[in-house]
Amino acid sequence: MSVQDAGKTYAGRSGAVHAVEHADFDIDEGDFVSLVGPSGCGKSTLMAMIGGLEAPSTGRIRVGGTPVDGPRRDFGYVFQDATLLPWKSVLDNVLFPIRAHRRPVTEFQPEAERLLRLTGLWDFRDKRPAELSGGMRQRVAICRGLIHDPRLLLMDEPFSALDAITRDDMNLALARLWDQQQRRTAVFITHSIREAVLLSDRVLVMNARPSRIVADIRVPLVRPRHAGLQEDPVFNQICAFVREKIHEGHGGHDV
């Protein structure tokens, strides 16, 4: 996919807000790319443009060779709050995009089972969201995002509401899922540098005012990714480098 000089300006109450300016990069098919940067630097806006949820004010975005001009069926979306349908079971929530796209549900049952088993949720398939923990609900949301084997999976801070231990588990669950999926393309927003490095092939660092991409960092760690990687000196060096780039662009404040 390619983001070509994309920008977004919102009409704020006290004048124009340049949420994203001159974003220009390509993502290779199969790459997992994280967007990191300080609050308000435009990560969600950039992702919303890539996902066709916001129209760019300038520039162009193309996925699979075609311009993105609205939400697409070949995309999967996962947001901060799982936003599951409370009256539906776990299994029906996972299958929801299939029903919404009027595709044959029975054809996707085996894939739903595979995803729910991989994320340890198969035994909970008949439960309602209210009967699950926050981490389990996010896992359901990720299964739902992947059920139709999207060309592009967009995840906006999917784990930010979770406690640290659950979040660690979720990172590993997502890494495992990703390594077992046929390596679709993913764009992932997070405030956690370690999470970004653990999961990604590339980390894009964004800066606020002006909202720009200030660093594009490759993560040359082997796949499959596993928990032990976090003790690896290379892992920690990459984290330190990403942190440095964020601070350079942010006047030394914490993210």
Ligand X SMILES: Nc1ncnc2c1ncn2[C@@H]1O[C@H](COP(=O)(O)OP(=O)(O)OP(=O)(O)O)[C@@H](O)[C@H]1O
Phi, psi values for residue 145, rounded to 5°: -65, -25
User: CB 175 → ligand X: shortest distance, Å?
Assistant: 22
Look up residue 2 and give its amino acid.
S
User: CB 151 → ligand X: shortest distance, Å?
Assistant: 23
Which lies closer to ligand X via its Cβ, residue 39 or residue 106? 39
Which lies closer to ligand X via its Cβ, residue 53 or residue 177? 53
Query: 115: part of which helix (H) or strand (E)?
Result: helix 105-118
User: CB 207 → ligand X: shortest distance, Å?
Assistant: 10
Q: Which residues bind ligand X (CB under 6 A)?
A: 10, 12, 17, 19, 39-45
Which lies closer to ligand X via its Cβ, residue 40 or residue 210? 40
Which lies closer to ligand X via its Cβ, residue 20 or residue 98? 20
Q: CB within 8 A of 176, min separation 6: which ones?
A: 118, 224
- Residues 97 and 144: beta-carbon distance below 8 Å: yes
Which lies closer to ligand X via its Cβ, residue 12 or residue 64? 12
Distance in angstroms (rounded) separating the CA atoms of residues 103 and 163 = 36
Measured between alpha carbons, how far is residue 65 from residues 3, 53, 204 in Å?
11, 18, 22
User: CB 191 → ligand X: shortest distance, Å?
Assistant: 6
User: CB 202 → ligand X: shortest distance, Å?
Assistant: 18
Which lies closer to ligand X via its Cβ, residue 78 or residue 115? 78
User: CB 72 → ligand X: shortest distance, Å?
Assistant: 20
**DSSP code for 144:** H
Biggest CA pair distance of the chain = 54
Distance in angstroms (rounded) separating the CA atoms of residues 123 and 104 = 24
* C-alpha of 161 from chain center: 14
